[in-house]
Amino acid sequence: AQTVTQSQPEMSVQEAETVTLSCTYDTSESNYYLFWYKQPPSRQMILVIRQEAYKQQNATENRFSVNFQKAAKSFSLKISDSQLGDTAMYFCARYSGGGADGLTFGKGTHLIIQP
């Protein structure tokens, strides 16, 4: 099975600090997509950032950026200037474009931002 691994079940940082969530994945595909989703207590799944595997440049969305290491199959999420509203579950996910398969999710990291 092609898996997505998040090795940090829970992380806690102070407000305004920078935090990095790790994710590694396994795939035999050459073209695929990687995502980070945020799930707050409301349980709504919110897309944070996406990365196409064929793009070498790391994706950035405001305070959120990724470190995509294709050879190492690593896809970490960095949150800068963390805010209380960033407290949530964060899921790393992968799917291979061109097919009808759904996302494969990691087990998630519970991020807590302390005031």
Partner 1 sequence: GAVVSQHPSWVICKSGTSVKIECRSLDFQATTMFWYRQFPKQSLMLMATSNEGSKATYEQGVEKDKFLINHASLTLSTLTVTSAHPEDSSFYICSARMDSSSPLHFGNGTRLTVT
List residues binding partner 1 (CB under 8 A): 33, 35, 37, 42-45, 47, 50, 91, 95, 97-108
Sign of CA dihedral 11, 88, 25, 104: positive
Token reading at 83: 């805010």
The three-state secondary structure class of 86 is helix
Give me the least distance between CB of 16 and partner 1, in Å please: 28
Rank residues 86 and 90 by Cβ distance to partner 1 and give the closer one.
Answer: 90
Cβ neighbours around 88 below 10 Å, total: 22
Comparing CB distances to partner 1, the nearer of 99 and 115 is: 99
How far apart are CB 90 and partner 1 at their closest, in Å? Answer: 11
Count the alpha carbons within 13 Å of 31 in the hemisphere toward its beta carbon: 3
Least separation in angstroms between residue 98's CB and partner 1 is 5
